[in-house]
Amino acid sequence: MSKEDKVDKELDLSNAGRGVWLVKVPKYIAQKWEKAPSNMDVGKLRISKTPGQKAQVSLTLTQAVVKLHPDDAEIPTEHILDVSVVTKQTLGVFSHMASNETNHLKDTVSSDPEKLYMEGRIVQKLECRPIADNCYMKLKLESIRKASVPVRKVQPIDKIVQNFKPVKDHAHNIEYRERKKAEGKKARDDKNAVMDMLFNAFEKHQYYNIKDLVKITKQPIGYLKEILKEVCDYNMKNPHKNMWELKKEYRHYKTDSEKKDDDKTATDSDTD
């Protein structure tokens, strides 16, 4: 949501001073209450106070909500609520009502899409737990049995079912092969032709690494190394480590004396 979409709304705080309870109930109770009609009594709360002792709170579900769906498993009806006071924490209950509901109740026209209310401040937390009777033990045993059933199981098939047939070839494998085919494989040229390319390259530079030679000759690296081992030496030491150089019998580099003679000849010719 952008800053332009945010709208300041008024909050009704008329019930801010009211104390409310936050109750945690078992899942089977929550499911029953969600299915119950809004006008049905779902339970009775009993608070027993003894002087000098903590108040005892119990919950009894009504038979109407217990028998709401006869096919469902039987659930316990008697429960105890363990009370704990909320400390070092501020919790509240809020509600909202759509504008059409507000207009129906108050016969007023409101431009706000909904009305916000604070229903009260939570003063106590309660945790609802069932009494460990036979009904609860049966319910717990059934839940353990359902949880132990494996999600996947081996199922024998007596006829061809398309859903269970293995995939002949996966899409990513097909895509990889097509891409390799489009790029094409480097074809091996004649050995003499490759050697000519190498000699021409070494006339320009004395040392090459394998990557540069692959780019120059456009040959498979394995095939190129076989030829290089015949006509080149691989340097293992600095300053030309990991570089290829022609063997002595294939080199045609001029020595320093030859270079001086060439320079002298060129000077004499210029003088003449």
The residue with greater pLDDT, 71 or 6, is 71
Bridge partners (DSSP) listed for residue 127: 24, 82
16-38 average pLDDT score = 88
CA dist., res. 220 & res. 245, Å (int): 19
What is the percent of the chain where pLDDT is above 90?
15
Question: Any idea what the Cα angle at residue 163 is, between residues 162 and 167, rounded to 5°?
Answer: 80
The residue with greater pLDDT, 91 or 254, is 91
CA dist., res. 270 & res. 119, Å (int): 109
Nearest to 220 by CA among 244, 199, 189: 189
pLDDT at residue 113, rounded to an integer: 62
103: pLDDT strictly greater than 80: no
109-123 average pLDDT score = 75
Q: Using N-to-C axis directions, what is the helix angle for 191-204 and 221-231, rounded to 10°?
A: 70
pLDDT at residue 226, rounded to an integer: 92
Bridge partners (DSSP) listed for residue 43: 61
pLDDT at residue 105, rounded to an integer: 46
36-62 average pLDDT score = 87
Query: What average pLDDT does the chain have?
Result: 80
76: pLDDT strictly greater than 50: yes
Q: Residue 201 in contact with residue 216, Cβ under 8 Å?
A: yes
Helix (H) or strand (E) holding 67: none
Q: Which residue has the tokens 């040959």?
A: 219
Strands 114-130 and 78-85: antiparallel
pLDDT at residue 171, rounded to an integer: 83
Q: Residue 64 in contact with residue 40, Cβ under 8 Å?
A: yes
Bridge partners (DSSP) listed for residue 93: 120
How would residue 11 be classed by pLDDT, with cut points 50, 70 and 90?
A: confident
Peptide bond into 239 cis (omega under 30): yes
How would residue 109 be classed by pLDDT, with cut points 50, 70 and 90?
A: very low
Q: Using N-to-C axis directions, what is the helix angle for 221-231 and 210-217, rounded to 10°?
A: 110
pLDDT at residue 72, rounded to an integer: 78
Residue 78, classed as helix, strand or coil, is strand
pLDDT at residue 266, rounded to an integer: 46
pLDDT at residue 219, rounded to an integer: 86
**The pTM is what?**
0.44
Strands 19-24 and 43-48: unpaired
265 residue type, one letter: T
| Residue 65 CB coordination number (10 Å) | 20
pLDDT at residue 230, rounded to an integer: 92
182-188 average pLDDT score = 63
CATH code of the domain occupying 185-250: 1.10.10.10
Nearest to 12 by CA among 123, 111, 114, 107: 114
Lowest mean pLDDT among 55-59, 75-79, 99-103: 99-103
234: pLDDT strictly greater than 60: yes
Q: Which residue has the tokens 């909500």?
A: 65
3-16 average pLDDT score = 76
| Residue 129 CB coordination number (10 Å) | 16
Domain boundaries, the chain: 11-96+116-146, 185-250
Phi first, then psi: what are they for 180, rounded to 5°? -65, -35
